[in-house]
């Protein structure tokens, strides 16, 4: 018998705590596969953030540090500076990275920290019960925008990849999604690049992954994937926003 598929060594055996249908699990797997393929698991340090992925330290098969809400890029900076040979990555949601932690992410990029950031944009605060996020789409209903996000008073969704690409210190920024097998494969390619850059000492790399929150969105898992593809990806266009390696 030939083995044609086996679970990546990059994940532990602990069962994931994510809701059925949520794509955090897919993104975990992609990151884990990349760490295994690049053969860096033994020197990787995950900086877990605050959000649905708060317990990601249980799932990734590498050493981890759990950070306060929004502060993961600062924590990552501390780690990478004293352990430059380790592979340091943050795994952050949109509330964590694009609201409470905008200062930390912008400044870590500004310093050109040689770290990898996995930014999971699900347009909502999943963990706390589906409140409005900075990335919530115009008109989108959440528990704190019950009449739909009103851009006049609640602002237009923040475009993080576009913003990060303007910072001179970023090396690589790409937006991908996890909506179907093709986009998942593309997401993996981007994630691999973001880690390879760190291995090669290139500098700050971020991959924004458009992800689902079927529970928070009040959609079934299939419609959620459609929502990523049709609604989110049209407001947040996919693509490479910066690649200093290609200039």
Ligand X SMILES: Cc1ncc(C[n+]2csc(CCOP(=O)(O)OP(=O)(O)O)c2C)c(N)n1
Residues that bind ligand X (CB under 6 A): 50-53, 69, 93-96, 122, 124-128, 133
Sort 4 into a burial class: Cβ within 10 Å, 0-12 / 13-18 / 19+: exposed
Q: Which is nearer to other proteins, 27 or 67 (CB)?
A: 67
Sort 219 into a burial class: Cβ within 10 Å, 0-12 / 13-18 / 19+: middle
Instruction: Write the CB contacts of 177 (distance below 8 Å, at least 6 apart in sequence).
Output: 183, 187, 209, 210, 211, 228, 229, 232, 233, 238
Q: Which is nearer to ligand X, 126 or 157 (CB)?
A: 126
Q: Please state, as a whole number, how many other Cβ atoms lie within 10 Å of the Cβ of residue 16.
A: 16
Return the residue of 16, 36, 37, 78 that touches other proteins, per CB under 8 A.
78
Residue ranges in 88-107 that form contacts with other proteins under rule CB under 8 A: 103-104, 107
x/- track of binding to other proteins for residues 32-61 (CB under 8 A)? ---------xxxxx-x------xx-x---x
x/- track of binding to other proteins for residues 183-222 (CB under 8 A)? ----------------------------------------
Distance in angstroms (rounded) separating the CA atoms of residues 119 and 172? 13
| Shortest spacing between CB 231 and other proteins, in angstroms | 33
Q: Where are the alpha helices (DSSP H) in the chain?
A: 24-37, 56-59, 72-82, 94-95, 102-110, 151-154, 160-165, 181-199, 214-217, 221-227, 233-235
| Shortest spacing between CB 38 and other proteins, in angstroms | 13
Q: Which is nearer to other proteins, 35 or 228 (CB)?
A: 35
Q: Which is nearer to other proteins, 21 or 73 (CB)?
A: 73
> Which residues of the shown chain bind other proteins in the complex (CB under 8 A)?
12, 41-45, 47, 54-55, 57, 61-68, 71, 74-79, 81-83, 86-87, 103-104, 107, 110-111
């Amino acid at each position: 018998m030939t083995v044609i598929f086996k679970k990546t060594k990059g994940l532990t055996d602990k069962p994931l705590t994510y809701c059925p249908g949520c794509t955090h699990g897919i993104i975990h797997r992609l990151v884990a596969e990349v760490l295994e393929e690049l053969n860096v698991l033994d020197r990787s340090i995950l900086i877990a953030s605050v959000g649905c992925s708060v317990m990601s330290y249980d799932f990734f098969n590498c050493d981890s540090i759990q950070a306060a809400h929004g502060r993961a890029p600062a924590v990552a900076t501390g780690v990478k500076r004293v352990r430059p040979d380790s592979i340091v990555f943050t795994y952050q949601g949109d509330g964590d990275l694009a609201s409470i932690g905008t200062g930390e992410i912008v400044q870590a990029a500004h310093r050109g920290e040689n770290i990898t950031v996995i930014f999971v944009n699900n347009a909502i605060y999943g963990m706390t019960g589906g409140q409005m996020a900075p990335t919530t789409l115009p008109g989108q209903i959440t528990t704190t925008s019950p009449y739909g996000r009103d851009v006049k008073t609640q602002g237009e969704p923040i475009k993080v990849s576009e913003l990060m690409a303007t910072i001179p210190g970023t090396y690589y920024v790409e937006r991908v999604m996890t909506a179907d097998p093709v986009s998942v494969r593309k997401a993996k390619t981007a994630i691999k690049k973001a880690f390879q850059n760190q291995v090669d000492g290139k500098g700050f790399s971020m991959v924004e992954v458009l992800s689902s929150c079927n529970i928070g969105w009040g959609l079934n898992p299939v419609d959620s994937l459609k929502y990523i593809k049709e609604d989110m990806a049209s407001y947040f266009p996919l693509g490479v926003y910066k690649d200093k390696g290609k200039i």
